């Protein structure tokens, strides 16, 4: 089993990065936030029945604002989060998905996001927080999510919060477009 995992991680770290149009994007967030639903809404424009992701999904997206995203959607269960760091190498954009209606886990989401952006491999990588489940009545507004995640204190990278509903698709394309814009700026530095 160790050899298999080692092979997967070797493949991840040697992921070919072609010209400026090929962009490696990491999609992370706590379990149940809607990562896989968002991935397949963008990829297939469909609502797919999902189960908790054990491991990762990887999909290449049609060009978004001139960039082809290869998105790594990694499971968010607590035991899997320790493996997130293996996906950081060569990442050019981070989509961090939060459940806007899960008030009780917002602090946990903040701690995990801080751990990600403090990693040397993720230095200056732009972040788009997708505040998913905005259709629920108890959902936090995007400005509240920015506050609770401590985003206003982040000065070493560009970030943006986009409200969304993965099921309807509202806000999902806007999040991808914003990430493409931020990645283009990042690539120029």
Active site positions, annotated:
77
What are 99's two structure tokens? 């459940």
Has 94 been labeled as part of a binding site? no
Has 82 been labeled as part of a binding site? no
Has 35 been labeled as part of a binding site? yes
Has 14 been labeled as part of a binding site? no
Has 92 been labeled as part of a binding site? no
Beta-carbon contacts of residue 156 (< 8 Å; ≥ 6 apart):
117, 123, 124
Count of other CB atoms within 10 angstroms of residue 43: 17
Has 34 been labeled as part of a binding site? yes
Q: Is the dihedral of CA 168, 173, 178, 179 positive or negative?
A: positive
Has 32 been labeled as part of a binding site? yes
Tell which residue, 117, 124, 187, has the closest CA to residue 150: 117
| DSSP state letters, 71-121 | EEEE--STTTGGGGGGG-TT--EEEEEEETT-GGGHHHHHHHHHHHHTSGG
Has 187 been labeled as part of a binding site? no
CA distance 189 to 3: 37
Has 33 been labeled as part of a binding site? yes
Q: Which residues are annotated as a binding site for Mg(2+)?
A: 36, 53
Q: Which residues are annotated as a binding site?
A: 29-36, 53, 76, 132-135
Q: Which residues are annotated as a binding site for GTP?
A: 29-36, 76, 132-135
């Amino acid at each position: 089993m160790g050899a298999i995992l080692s092979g997967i991680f070797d493949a991840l770290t040697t992921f070919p990065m072609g010209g400026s149009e090929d962009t490696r994007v990491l999609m992370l967030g706590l379990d149940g936030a809607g990562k896989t639903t968002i991935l397949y809404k963008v990829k297939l424009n469909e609502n797919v029945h999902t189960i908790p992701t054990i491991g990762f999904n990887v999909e290449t997206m049609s060009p978004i604002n001139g960039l082809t995203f290869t998105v790594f959607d990694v499971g968010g269960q607590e035991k899997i989060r320790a493996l997130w760091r293996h996906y950081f190498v060569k990442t050019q954009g981070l989509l961090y998905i939060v459940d806007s209606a899960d008030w009780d886990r917002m602090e946990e989401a903040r701690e995990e996001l801080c751990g990600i952006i403090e990693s040397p491999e993720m230095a200056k990588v732009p972040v788009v927080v997708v505040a998913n489940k905005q259709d629920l009545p108890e959902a936090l507004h995007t400005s509240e999510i920015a506050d609770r995640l401590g985003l206003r204190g982040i000065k070493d990278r560009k970030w943006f919060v986009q409200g969304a509903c993965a099921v309807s698709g509202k806000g999902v394309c806007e999040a991808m477009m914003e990430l493409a814009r931020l990645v283009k700026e990042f690539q120029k530095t």
